[in-house]
Amino acid sequence: MKILVQIDFPYSGSFGAEMAAAFTPLAESIAQERGLIWKMWTENSETNEAGGIYLFEDKSSAETYLKMHTARLESFGVRDIRAKFFTLNEPLSHITRAPV
Amino acid sequence: MKILVQIDFPYSGSFGAEMAAAFTPLAESIAQERGLIWKMWTENSETNEAGGIYLFEDKSSAETYLKMHTARLESFGVRDIRAKFFTLNEPLSHITRAPV
């Protein structure tokens, strides 16, 4: 079953184009992760937060990724990481045009 | 600028097909909301949580919807609603195949 992972955390780095330039190699690496269908990169320069919405093929891939990614974020100095796993309600998501 | 709205809350109702049946009229209503591009319906029957990931055309539409939807959820008895607004980092999201 596909798993949606929702992650957010306080973030004091760069945003927008500058963030994109800084994290392009990381994004290219994440794109290769086993079981990853896609990741949306989220940011809010007003509240100083960032995160991601991910869709994985299965729970095992999501758990393996989250463990690795949490350790990586902490190595960058990120704290207070909030991560939640969900499944998608596909009939309702279909009605509201979700691209899933 | 497009706004991603991330909402989650404790939820003790039905999940899966039963939830889909119960909320189909609500989903049909949400699909008509001004400025809504899509909504993904999220659920977790193990942690008793639910929520949604939304994409809106602009911040004004997102704010109007959130105010209305929060009041509606509270009328259903939902408490501890957590809502966050983000923009998408589109270059990074493109690299990781996000459907945005």
Alpha carbon distance A28, A67 (integer Å): 19
Residue in chain B lying closest to A42 (CA): B88
Residue in chain B lying closest to A49 (CA): B86
Subunit contact A84:B49, Cβ cutoff 8 A: yes
pLDDT of A88:
98
pLDDT of A46:
97
Q: Taking CB atoms and an 8 Å cutoff, what residues of chain B touch A24?
A: 91-92, 95
pLDDT < 70: residue spans in chain A: none
Give the Å distances, CA to CA, from B42 to B19, B32, B48, B50: 11, 19, 11, 5
Query: Do the interacting molecules here have an ipTM over 0.95?
Result: yes
Look up the pTM and report it: 0.97
Tens of pLDDT along chain B (100 residues) come to 999 999 999 999 999 999 999 999 999 999 999 999 999 999 999 999 999 999 999 999 999 999 999 999 999 999 999 999 999 999 999 999 999 9
Q: Taking CB atoms and an 8 Å cutoff, what residues of chain B touch A18?
A: none
Alpha carbon distance A23, A14 (integer Å): 10
pLDDT of B10:
98
Domains in chain B with CATH codes: 3-95 (3.30.70.100)
Residue owning tokens 């500058």: A18
